[in-house]
Amino acid sequence: MTEEKARNPFIVDFCEALMRKRGLELDDENEEQELERMYNLYETMLGRRMVECLPEEKKSQYMAIVRDLGQLDFDKIGEIFTDGIPNPEAIMKETLEEFSDIYLKNR
């Protein structure tokens, strides 16, 4: 049995709504796979955008941490993003809009 990773229910609902809007009719297994693929893509897009929005000093600190995974410090990463991103909600919204445009155009 595999552990299911925690998902943001808002993002899951958003992805499901996009699938309906696109008119996808999939069986349960394929629907879950599509949802997982969409969710992972959104997370990747959001992560990249948040890193891009960091001030240069914070971005350098973040990159130094992720280059040396032996020194990975999630508390420090949390501090970098908390201090470096003044309005994460706006970044999330912009990413949802971009994700929606890409998904509906390319599916």
Q: State pLDDT tens for residues 15-65.
A: 999 999 999 889 999 999 999 999 999 999 999 999 999 999 999 999 999
Question: For all residues of the chain together, what is the average pLDDT?
Answer: 91
Answer whether residue 2 is part of any domain. Answer: no
d(CA 91, CA 85) in angstroms, rounded, equals 9
- Quick one: pLDDT at residue 3? 59
Specify the number of domains making up the chain: 1
- Assess whether pLDDT exceeds 80 at residue 106: no
Answer whether residue 1 is part of any domain. Answer: no
Range of the domain at 64: 9-106
∠ CA 91-39-35, nearest 5°, is: 145
Answer whether residue 55 is part of any domain. Answer: yes
- From residue 20, give the alpha-carbon distance in Å to each of 12, 23, 34, 57: 12, 5, 12, 42
Which residue from 57, 94, 62, 60 is spatially nearest to 78, judged by alpha carbons? Answer: 62
∠ CA 15-96-28, nearest 5°, is: 10
